[in-house]
């Protein structure tokens, strides 16, 4: 390696400041490229219109903006899905660990189907096939589909959480004469929950992310509202970056929470 | 957990009963309320039909779509593996700047919804990058060899630039996940291997190439195979930016024939068969590799 | 007086807030056999790992065979080629056969041809008495054999100095001797060695100098005769009484 390059490398290893400056420069160039490219095509930046999409002031009165409405739907969707997903996941995990033949078969079949088909195709299947059959609206079609999808992951998290509890704990429970249900309740579950908590929170992150897909069936969530605003106002860049920013804010704060949980779990052991 | 023998018990009764009720409700609703009559024969021509003029069997939309999905998956895994290896090495580099860039890339992609990512990136690509790269000109070139190559490798030349945008979107998206796979693979090699390599006088580059990577490959391969299956599934999302792959074609056929139930059940089944076949194949490979290692 | 081949002057080493080495100064002459001992966590590994810069020292000066260890990568590489190191956990490359383990560095770092490198490798495998295992993988060998391969791997770079970091403490008792025998032979051939070990029998047989470390400091340096019979420091005495009692 030439000497200059080696000096540069050394400095990037050592100096946080130097690396940060490089990073900021790099990001600056990236942003500049995008802005410059947009300007080249005659793009009209309208960042000043963005706050209106959150809260709109009209003759002294305040109205909820479109993105806020969308965000609210996304949160509602997430809320229902989290509850239902836990239920589906728990049932599936228990069936999978049960000693019943059909229970195992059902759980395994469900997991394999979900794992081996795209979420989008599942959504179309629910929207075009199951929702007319069962007569449910778009929002609940979205909820059911996402539950069906995420439930498979939650089932695996719960199962591996329970199975990660040492075998000896079962034997100890047996040895002191506890019934199977009590062993679960007093010994296994309390130990499994701290193990399951970080991945379960991670799954909520995924749920928030994946919920964007319901915009395909025109549920009025954040992404749909974003697309509609763009269709009306042509502020593609501003709106997309804002929408992505909102999702990032939610998911990143959840992942910080996960890190915290993980660290806490690691310390308590 | 005791490993008990599976046997029939009350859970089975419950499971069978609920399945039965579910099926009966569905069948009754389909027949009475929706009045839906199944007709599978209508969609067969969308897979394959006899051309009137030549009298030959010809593939139609669904098969075209399937081919497109396979192309996306195969090119996508290659491209995203390249991105993943480069970014993965940056992610563990001793150069802080490279680490910061790689980390930002990974976090950004993994924390935005795939849909939003694809829309943003597609918009950016199709309006800015594609014109600069001159993909359109390439697709419109009159050279018959170029046209032939594009047709074989990437489908209809008219949609070539569209295809490339979709492929790039998908690769950059999956690349972030492969970055993490590569990082985890390399970091799973014990520190002692680095130290031993350095202690015998190898340069950092040589330690990486001759000691670390050969061992990391074994640990990277299984999750990478998994990522291939994920890629097949995720490729359905690019139907939303009008890449004419399987899901896109299914939407088209569904609209034009109104055989909606049949087409979606069939499409889901096709994805399932492909992905599940891959799962079985990769499992078989892994077992074979494990046996060879012993 | 002969010039020292290894020279440490006021070496300090920090791990974050924790100071692992305090002002360590110390010389090793060509052909000298040094045995380092001391309680766990006293900085023995840290010290010898600084000598081939597996750890970077924070202040002070380390010179090996006239080359000062600085950030200069060329210097570091040439020092590492002069200095062999044997680890507690062997650290053989598990994806390579024994022979490939041995020829890797000579071929890549010394640019020897494969035939040359293999010839040397076989010589050293003879010396550690396992030429018949050349085509096996490390996982197929016993711990003692693996450690002997690790020694041979270092010797293949024809080092002037060998560092050993508790080479026998990961071994079952019945394998310790076969590794120590190889090391004793190496000492007889005049190799400059720094050995971190708790094998006091070995120390008495081969050491020219005993070094006792505690809490990141060198507490005592003495020839084995005085070191074992009349140590100056109380801490050395205490340590010796503990280690020799079993
Ligand atoms: N990479 C590291 N990060 C932080 N602290 C470290 C690191 N390596 C060593 N230390 C600390 O430095 C001190 C000295 O460690 P060192 O390994 O040199 O001791 P040692 O004398 O070799 O002990 P042992 O006999 O257990 O091998 C210890 O307290 C250890 O905890
Ligand atoms: Mg040590």
**pLDDT at residue C67 tops 70:** yes
- The torsion angles phi and psi of C37, rounded to 5 degrees, stand at -135, 170
**pLDDT at residue A226 tops 80:** yes
Distance from CA of B206 to the nearest CA of C (A): 7
With bands split at pLDDT 50, 70 and 90, how would you rate the model's confidence at C244? confident
CATH number at residue A74: 1.10.3720.10
B42, two tokens:
């209508």
Does domain B63-293 fall under CATH 1.10.3720.10? My reply is yes
**Tens of pLDDT along C6-35?**
999 999 999 999 999 999 999 999 999 999
Name the residue of chain B whose CA is nearest to A188's CA. B1
Q: How far apart are the C-alpha atoms of C246 and C240, rounded to whole Å? A: 11
Closest CA to A248 of A214, A217, A215, A222: A222
Where do the domains of chain B lie? 63-293
B200 and C154: CB-CB below 8 Å? yes
pTM > 0.95: yes or no: no
Task: Give the mutation candidate from A8, A67, A78, A99 for the B interface (greatest B CB count, under 10 A).
Answer: A99
A80 CB contacts (<8 Å, ≥6 apart)?
A143, A147
pLDDT of residue B5: 63
Beta strands C33-37 and C192-196 are: parallel
pLDDT of residue C188: 93
Q: How far apart are the C-alpha atoms of A68 and A56, rounded to whole Å? A: 10
Higher pLDDT among residues A190 and A266, named by residue: A190
DSSP single-letter state for residue A127: I
Identify which ligand lies nearest to the alpha carbon of C214. Answer: 1
Q: Are A34 and A118 within one domain?
A: no
Angle at which helices B160-187 and B114-124 cross, to 10°: 130
With bands split at pLDDT 50, 70 and 90, how would you rate the model's confidence at B90? very high
Q: How far apart are the C-alpha atoms of B289 and C209, rounded to whole Å? A: 51
- The torsion angles phi and psi of A2, rounded to 5 degrees, stand at -65, 160
Q: Are A19 and A86 within one domain?
A: no
**pLDDT at residue B128 tops 90:** no
Name the residue of chain B whose CA is nearest to C88's CA. B192
Could you give the count of Cα atoms lying within 13 Å of B217 in the half-sphere of its Cβ? 8
**pLDDT at residue B1 tops 50:** no
B272 and A99: CB-CB below 8 Å? no
Q: How far apart are the C-alpha atoms of A120 and A131, rounded to whole Å? A: 15
Q: Coil, strand or helix: which one is C85?
A: strand
Residues of C in contact with B206 (CB under 8 A): 108-109
Residues of C in contact with B200 (CB under 8 A): 80, 84-85, 104-105, 109, 153-154, 157
In a domain, A188, yes or no: yes
- State which residues form the domain around A31: 3-43
**pLDDT at residue B102 tops 90:** yes
A19 and B111: CB-CB below 8 Å? no
First to last CA, chain B: 30
Q: Are A210 and A134 within one domain?
A: yes
Q: How far apart are the C-alpha atoms of A68 and A53, rounded to whole Å? A: 7
Rounded mean pLDDT of B93-120? 93
**pLDDT at residue B15 tops 90:** no
Rounded mean pLDDT of A241-269? 87
Q: How many domains does chain A divide into?
A: 2
**pLDDT at residue A268 tops 70:** no
**pLDDT at residue A53 tops 70:** yes
Rounded mean pLDDT of B132-152? 79
Q: Coil, strand or helix: which one is B91?
A: helix
The angle at the Cα of A3, spanning A6 to C5, to the nearest 5 degrees, equals 85
Higher pLDDT among residues A126 and A15, named by residue: A126
**Tens of pLDDT along B219-261?**
999 999 999 999 999 999 999 998 999 999 999 999 888 888 8
B113 and A102: CB-CB below 8 Å? no
Q: Are A92 and A34 within one domain?
A: no
Q: Are A76 and A22 within one domain?
A: no
Q: Are A34 and A69 within one domain?
A: no
Neighbors of chain A with 3 or more C-beta pairs under 8 Å: B
Distance from CA of C91 to the nearest CA of B (A): 6
Burial class for C236, CB neighbours closer than 10 Å (0-12, 13-18, 19+): buried
In a domain, A52, yes or no: no
Q: Are A94 and A12 within one domain?
A: no
Angle at which helices B260-293 and B213-234 cross, to 10°: 170
B184 CB contacts (<8 Å, ≥6 apart)?
B219, B223
Q: Are A138 and A22 within one domain?
A: no
Q: How far does Cα A237 stand from its chain's mean position?
A: 23
CB-ligand 1 contact for C231 (6 Å cutoff): no
Which sign does the torsion angle of CA C168, C171, C176, C178 carry?
negative
C117, two tokens:
């490198």
Q: Which of residues 54-93 of A touch B (CB under 8 A)?
A: none
With bands split at pLDDT 50, 70 and 90, how would you rate the model's confidence at B44? confident
Please give the ipTM for the structure prediction.
Answer: 0.91
Largest Cα span, chain B: 80
Q: Are A25 and A68 within one domain?
A: no
Cβ pair A165, A192 in contact under 8 A = yes
pLDDT of residue B2: 47
Q: Are A9 and A128 within one domain?
A: no
> Could you tell me how many residues make up chain B?
294
C74 CB contacts (<8 Å, ≥6 apart)?
none
With bands split at pLDDT 50, 70 and 90, how would you rate the model's confidence at B294? low
pLDDT of residue C1: 54
pLDDT of residue C141: 95
Atom 29 of ligand 1, nearest CA residue: C41
């Amino acid at each position: 390696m030439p000497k200059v390059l080696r000096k540069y490398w050394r400095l990037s290893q050592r100096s946080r400041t130097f690396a940060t400056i490089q990073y900021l420069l790099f990001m600056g160039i990236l942003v500049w490229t995008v802005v410059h490219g947009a300007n080249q095509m005659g793009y009209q930046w309208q960042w000043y219109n963005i706050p209106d999409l959150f809260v709109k002031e009209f003759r002294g009165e305040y109205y909820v903006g479109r993105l806020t409405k969308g965000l609210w739907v996304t949160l509602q969707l997430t809320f229902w899905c989290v509850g239902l997903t836990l239920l589906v996941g728990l049932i599936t995990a228990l069936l999978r660990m049960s000693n019943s033949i059909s229970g195992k078969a059902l759980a395994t079949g469900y997991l394999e189907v979900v794992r081996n088909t795209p979420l989008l195709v599942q959504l179309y299947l629910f929207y075009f096939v199951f929702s007319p059959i069962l007569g449910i609206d778009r929002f609940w079609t979205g909820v059911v589909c996402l539950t069906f999808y995420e439930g498979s992951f939650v089932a695996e998290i719960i199962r591996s959480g329970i199975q990660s509890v040492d075998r000896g704990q079962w034997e100890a429970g047996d040895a002191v004469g506890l019934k199977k249900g009590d062993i679960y309740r007093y010994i296994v579950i309390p130990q499994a929950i701290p193990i399951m908590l970080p991945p379960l929170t991670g799954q909520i992150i995924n749920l928030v992310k994946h919920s964007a897909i319901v915009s395909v069936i025109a549920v009025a969530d954040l992404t749909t509202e974003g697309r509609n605003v763009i269709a009306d106002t042509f502020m593609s860049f501003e709106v997309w970056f804002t929408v992505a920013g909102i999702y990032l804010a939610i998911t990143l704060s959840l992942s910080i929470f996960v890190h915290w949980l993980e660290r806490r779990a690691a310390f308590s052991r | 957990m005791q490993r008990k023998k599976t046997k029939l018990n009350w859970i089975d009764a419950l499971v069978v009963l609920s399945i039965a009720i579910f099926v009966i409700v569905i069948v009754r609703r389909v027949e009475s309320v929706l009045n839906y009559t199944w007709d599978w024969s209508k969609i067969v021509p969308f897979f394959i039909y006899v051309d009137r003029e030549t009298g030959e069997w010809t593939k139609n939309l669904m098969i075209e779509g399937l081919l497109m999905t396979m192309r996306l998956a195969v090119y996508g895994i290659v491209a995203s593996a390249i991105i993943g290896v480069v970014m993965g090495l940056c992610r563990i580099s001793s150069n802080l700047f490279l680490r910061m860039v790689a980390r930002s890339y990974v976090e950004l992609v993994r924390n935005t919804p795939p849909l939003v990512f694809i829309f943003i990136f597609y918009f950016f690509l199709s309006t800015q990058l594609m014109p600069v790269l001159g993909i359109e000109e390439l697709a419109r070139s009159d050279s018959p060899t170029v046209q032939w190559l594009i047709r074989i490798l990437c489908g209809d030349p008219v949609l070539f630039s569209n295809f490339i945008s979709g492929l790039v979107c998908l690769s950059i998206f999956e690349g972030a996940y492969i970055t993490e796979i590569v990082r985890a693979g390399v970091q799973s090699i014990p520190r002692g291997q680095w130290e031993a390599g350095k202690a015998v006088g190898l340069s950092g580059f040589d330690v990486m190439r001759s000691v670390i990577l050969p061992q990391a490959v074994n640990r990277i391969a299984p999750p990478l195979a998994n990522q291939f299956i994920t890629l097949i599934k995720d490729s359905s999302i690019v139907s939303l930016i009008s890449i004419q792959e399987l899901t896109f074609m299914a939407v088209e056929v569904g609209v034009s024939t109104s055989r909606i139930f049949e087409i979606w059940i069939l499409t889901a089944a096709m994805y399932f068969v492909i992905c599940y076949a891959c799962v079985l194949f990769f499992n078989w490979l892994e077992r074979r590799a494990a046996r060879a290692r012993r | 007086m002969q010039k020292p081949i290894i020279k440490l002057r006021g070496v300090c080493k920090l791990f974050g807030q924790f100071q692992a080495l305090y002002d360590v100064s110390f010389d090793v002459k060509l052909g000298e056999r040094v045995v380092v001992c001391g309680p766990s966590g006293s900085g023995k590994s840290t010290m010898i790992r600084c000598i081939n810069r597996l750890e970077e020292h924070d202040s002070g000066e380390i010179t090996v065979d006239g080359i000062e260890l600085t950030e200069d990568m060329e210097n570091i590489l040439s020092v590492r080629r002069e200095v062999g190191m044997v680890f507690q956990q062997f650290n053989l490359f598990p994806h390579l056969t024994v022979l490939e383990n041995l020829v890797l560095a000579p071929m890549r770092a010394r640019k020897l041809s494969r035939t040359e490198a293999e010839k040397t490798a076989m010589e050293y495998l003879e010396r550690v008495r396992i030429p018949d295992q050349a085509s096996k993988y490390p996982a197929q060998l016993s711990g003692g054999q693996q450690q002997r391969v690790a020694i041979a791997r270092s010797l293949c770079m024809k080092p002037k100095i060998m560092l050993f970091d508790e080479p026998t403490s990961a071994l079952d008792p019945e394998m310790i001797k076969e590794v120590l025998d190889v090391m004793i032979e190496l000492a007889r051939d005049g190799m400059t060695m720094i050995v971190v070990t708790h094998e006091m029998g070995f120390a008495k047989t081969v050491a020219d100098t005993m070094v006792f470390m505690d809490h990141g400091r060198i507490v005592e340096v003495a020839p084995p005769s005085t070191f074992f019979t009349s140590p100056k420091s109380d801490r050395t005495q205490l340590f010796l009484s503990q280690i020799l009692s079993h």
